[in-house]
Amino acid sequence: MCTILFAFKAHPKYDLIFLGNRDEFKNRPSLKVHFWESNPSILAGMDLEKGGTWTGITKSGRISFVTNYRNAMHSSLIKSRGYLTQHFLDTDATPLEYLEKIKLQRDQYGPFNLVVGTFKELWFYSNMEDKIFSLNPGVYGLSNAYLDTPWFKLKRAKNFFLNVLNTDFIVDDLFKILDDKVTPPDEELPNTGVSLEAERMLSSVYIDTPEYGTMFKTVILASSSGQVEFYEKSLDKKSNWSMTSFNFKCDLNRL
């Protein structure tokens, strides 16, 4: 994922509200969200090139999502960052136990930000900052830098998100936040070590270029009772968007 917003225990109806765009090269093979054959409890998309997933949830209420940390001085290493999310969904380890294990393996992955947890607790770890901590109830933004880094697109999206949370919103209102194409003036661009042209191209929430862009848009609504609504819009090879949705109840007794 490249732009993520989430509200954790910050809404009267939902314990977790998640919005995220996955930006990727358009020729990178991926599968849209589905229950995995290898573990039917996992609901997630799948990266067919390097493996793993960018965002996923299980029938027991485990959830994980990851973003790359953009830094031109680092390159992806042997292990796919998509496995960071998949392996948490596959394991019974507590969020803290899992992140402590990943911390020991941090040099085996390219730079990343990882959130793992359940409806009851969320934890964050970045191998760039190398700190594990639990997240307090609140509204957060995450892109290709540290949690809540005040990039233009993240500040703008978070403001829209906060406004929507104060309304009787529908799912389309959340997807509209993910469709924002507004870019900042050059003086407000981050400096992540890529070219100015690349910084401009990557500076909006929704990205669309001939070779690279937003390929998946995800909205997840999870209530304290365990009810989950999972909505995903995916872009096909003909540049057409399609919606996939799932509505199910998690067995929170398995947490």
Q: 242 in helix, strand or coil?
A: strand
Residue 180 in any domain: the answer is no
DSSP state of 144: S
Residues of the chain with pLDDT under 50: none
Tell me the residue range of the domain where 22 lies: 3-149+210-254
Q: Say if CB 151 and CB 123 are below 8 A apart.
A: no
3-state secondary structure of 252: helix
- pTM for the structure as a whole: 0.96
Which residue type, as a one-letter code, is found at position 222?
A
The per-residue pLDDT for 252 is: 78
Residue 253's pLDDT is 75
Angular region, 128: left φ>0, alpha ψ -120 to 50, beta rest: alpha
Chain centroid, CA 93 distance in Å: 21
| CATH number of the domain to which 73 belongs | 3.60.60.10
- In terms of phi and psi (left: phi > 0; alpha: psi -120 to 50; beta: otherwise), the region of 52 is left
Domain membership of residue 70 (yes or no) is yes
In a domain, 28, yes or no: yes
Count structural domains, the chain: 1
**Within a domain: residue 171?**
no
Q: d(Cα 47, Cα 197) in Å, to the nearest integer?
A: 27
- Alpha-carbon span 255 to 242, nearest angstrom: 32
Answer yes or no: is 229 within a domain. yes
> Cα separation of 218 and 184, whole Å?
24
In a domain, 24, yes or no: yes
Residue 43 lies in a domain: yes
Are 199 and 189 a contacting pair, CB within 8 Å? yes
The DSSP code for 162 is H
Nearest to 99 by CA among 119, 74, 125: 125
Judge whether 203 lies within some domain: no
